[in-house]
Amino acid sequence: MKFTNLTRRTEIGANSYYLETSDRRLVLDCGMHPKLVGEEALPNMNAVGGRRLDAIIISHAHQDHIGTLPILMRRQAQARVFMTEPTAEIGSVLLHNSVNVMTRQREELGTTLYPLFTHRETDRVIERWQSCALRQAYTLSGERASADSSETTFEFYDAGHVLGSTGVLLRADGRRVFYTGDVNFDDQTIAQAALFSAESIDILIMECTRGDTQAPPGWSRASEEKRFTQAIENAFTRGGCILVPVFAFGKTQEVLAMLYKMRREKTLDFPIYIGGLSSKISQIYDERAQMGRRQLPRLELLDELRPYVLNADSIHEAQTRPGRVYALSSGMMTSKTLSNTFAQRIVDQSRHSIFFVGYADPESPAGILRNARAGDEVTIDPDRGPQRVQCNIEQFQFSAHASRESLIAFATRLAPKKILLVHGDLPAVEWMRARLVSDLPKCEVIVPTPGVELEL
Ligand SMILES: [Zn+2]
Ligand SMILES: [Zn+2]
């Protein structure tokens, strides 16, 4: 069996992995780098060379896992493409949104390469996606198969990260390979903890997002929700509003569900603002509320919370009214997004607050602002220049990713022969490697060098 890490660096970038069995070739995930542009934002598809893929399997619809799928499908027109039904539904919305973002960037960056794909091409490739059920083995031709089939098969398991997210079990050449995708082993407010196979595994491909983050002592989601509620109350007492930068898919819906619980428990009630894309994805959460595993299955977010919807135009006129929560994307406060534009309007005013609730790349505007102290000069948007931080900044731990302790516990329980560590920045991957080497001395722990073929 051969494996190549198609991500260009050891980081959380454009995630993509090539796997070759004795008779089949496939790619797991095909992401877009959240920060880089042009060719650099793509996985290193050249490392696949002239080899024809049989299948492309997508773990979930976050941009760093699905964002450049239309390009790989253009180059590998014969490959079949598999994902869960919610991933297909959300992926289609997000890829079309990505076309709009790239079309805008075409002028901003002055690059004729953009958009990397069009709305029409996106519609065409979506027709070739096959939706698959959870806990059902399929051959790479897309037929249902039994778990003991002699052919190469794959099977999706609920990864508990966002709606539709999966871990992928591959059975090939008499061995079992498990790719965690992005995973959470704990319940969130909507998502239920991952439910993976109890089968023994030979090779584990594991994400490491939180590998360099120690779990805060005494942390529990319930106590963190309480702290969040209290902080909102205090922020309103300051006479300001609160910006919560969130990803449109996943974090927005988790935050809305928490705000719903505050209303239900009558602790707090206040107007909420979200973005147009977040609203579209929340609608998919609502339509699928009673299908599949989740918490609060009767909660329809849009119906219950009636959030006001802002877009790229109305964000400029939106009032920064006291006693309101603005849960706006993007989570990393990328330039020109709603959260970035809104942050510029409140960052230098002490009555307002910004609450961070999830992962942000340390070099992104959200990462920079999160680590800023009162009085620091920060540049949120290069076109605007530096601003002095005066607003109240707080951080909360509502990650959609497994803690490093739970990843280690999972790997230890499986005790596979080999572990490949992926989807982590260098310090995260290194911490995980050191820990696994000492906890599992019989296991070969590998940090796959990008672009280099490994014989497994
Ligand atoms: Zn993800
Ligand atoms: Zn990811």
Q: What is the mean pLDDT of residues 4-31?
A: 96
The pLDDT value given to residue 111: 85
CA–centroid distance, residue 230 to ligand 1 (Å): 28
Residues 6+ apart with CB under 8 A from 108: 336
Peptide bond into 330 cis (omega under 30): yes
Split at pLDDT 50, 70, 90, the class of 319 is confident
CA–centroid distance, residue 9 to ligand 2 (Å): 14
pLDDT(63) > 90:
yes
Which ligand approaches the C-alpha of residue 31 most closely?
A: 2
Instruction: Compute the Cα dihedral for 223, 226, 230, 231 and give only its sign.
Output: positive
Q: What is the mean pLDDT of residues 163-182?
A: 97
Task: Tell me which residues have their CB within 5 A of the ion that is ligand 1.
Answer: 62, 182
Q: CA 392 to CA 446: how far, in whole Å?
A: 42
**Digit-coded pLDDT (tens) for 374-424:** 999 999 999 999 999 999 999 999 999 999 999 999 999 999 999 999 999
pLDDT(109) > 90:
no
Residue 134 is encoded by which pair of tokens? 């959870």
Q: What is the mean pLDDT of residues 10-14?
A: 93
CA–centroid distance, residue 306 to ligand 2 (Å): 29
The pLDDT value given to residue 250: 97
Percentage of the chain beyond pLDDT 70 is 100
Which ligand approaches the C-alpha of residue 65 most closely?
A: 2
The pLDDT value given to residue 453: 97
Q: What is the 3-state secondary structure (H, E, C) of the chain?
A: CEEEECCCCCCCCCCCEEEECCCCEEEECCCCCCCCCHHHHCCCHHHHCCCCCCEEECCCCCHHHHCCHHHHHHHCCCCEEEECHHHHHHHHHHHHHHHHHHHHHHHHHCCCCCCCCCHHHHHHHHCCEEECCECCEEECCCCECCCCCCCCEEEEEECCCCCCCEEEEEEECCEEEEECCCCCCCCCCCCCCCCCCCCCCCEEEEECCCCCCCCCCCCCHHHHHHHHHHHHHHHHHCCCCEEEECCCCCHHHHHHHHHHHHHHCCCCCCCEEEEHHHHHHHHHHHHCCCCCCCCCCCCCHHHHHCCEEECCCHHHHCCCCCCCEEEECCCCCCCCCHHHHHHHHHCCCCCCEEEECCCCCCCCHHHHHHCCCCCCEECCCCCCCCEECCCEEEECCCCCCCCHHHHHHHHHHHCCCEEEEECCCHHHHHHHHHHHHHHCCCCEEECCCCCCEEEC
The pLDDT value given to residue 242: 98
The pLDDT value given to residue 376: 96
Percentage of the chain beyond pLDDT 90 is 89
CA–centroid distance, residue 376 to ligand 1 (Å): 31
Name the residue with tokens 């079992």.
176
CA–centroid distance, residue 95 to ligand 1 (Å): 15
Q: What is the 3-state secondary structure (H, E, C) of 314-349?
A: HHHHCCCCCCCEEEECCCCCCCCCHHHHHHHHHCCC
Q: What is the rounded end-to-end Cα distance, in angstroms, of the chain?
A: 5
Which of 8, 438, 424, 34 is closest to 205 using CA atoms? 424
CA–centroid distance, residue 352 to ligand 2 (Å): 31
Residue 342 is encoded by which pair of tokens? 């809104």
Residues 6+ apart with CB under 8 A from 321: 241, 271
The pLDDT value given to residue 86: 98
pLDDT(1) > 90:
yes
Q: CA 329 to CA 345: how far, in whole Å?
A: 15
Task: Tell me which residues have their CB within 5 A of the ion that is ligand 2.
Answer: 64, 182
pLDDT(266) > 90:
no
Stretch among 43-47, 57-61, 173-177, 356-360 having the lowest mean pLDDT: 356-360
Which of 232, 234, 242 is closest to 391 using CA atoms? 242
pLDDT(269) > 90:
no
CA–centroid distance, residue 7 to ligand 2 (Å): 12
pLDDT(35) > 90:
no
Residue 149's CB is within 10 A of a number of other CB atoms, namely 14
- Determine the length of the chain: 456
CA–centroid distance, residue 27 to ligand 1 (Å): 17
* Distance of alpha carbon 274 from the chain centroid: 18
**Digit-coded pLDDT (tens) for 289-299:** 999 999 999 99
Q: Which has more confidence, 259 or 107?
A: 259
Name the residue with tokens 């329980």.
413
Q: What is the mean pLDDT of residues 340-367?
A: 94
The pLDDT value given to residue 231: 97
Report strand pairing: 453-455 vs 2-5.
antiparallel
**Digit-coded pLDDT (tens) for 79-93:** 999 999 999 999 999
Split at pLDDT 50, 70, 90, the class of 147 is confident
Which ligand approaches the C-alpha of residue 34 most closely?
A: 2
Q: What is the mean pLDDT of residues 158-179?
A: 97
Q: Which has more confidence, 30 or 336?
A: 30
Split at pLDDT 50, 70, 90, the class of 172 is very high
Q: CA 115 to CA 113: how far, in whole Å?
A: 6
Is there a contact between 421 and 433 (Cβ–Cβ < 8 Å)?
A: yes
Q: For 160, left (φ over 0), alpha (ψ -120 to 50), or beta? A: left
Which ligand approaches the C-alpha of residue 191 most closely?
A: 1
What distances in angstroms separate CA 416 from CA 180, 343, 402, 430, one per listed residue?
13, 46, 19, 19
Which of 314, 315, 260, 313 is closest to 282 using CA atoms? 260
CA–centroid distance, residue 94 to ligand 2 (Å): 14
Q: CA 37 to CA 16: how far, in whole Å?
A: 17
Which of 354, 419, 430, 420 is closest to 389 using CA atoms? 354
Which ligand approaches the C-alpha of residue 29 most closely?
A: 2
Q: What is the mean pLDDT of residues 325-347?
A: 95
**Digit-coded pLDDT (tens) for 189-217:** 999 999 999 899 999 999 999 999 988 88
The pLDDT value given to residue 360: 82
Q: CA 149 to CA 57: how far, in whole Å?
A: 19
Q: Which has more confidence, 147 or 12?
A: 12
The pLDDT value given to residue 297: 97
CA–centroid distance, residue 91 to ligand 1 (Å): 12
Q: CA 456 to CA 1: how far, in whole Å?
A: 5
pLDDT(318) > 90:
no
**Digit-coded pLDDT (tens) for 213-244:** 988 888 899 999 999 999 999 999 999 999 99
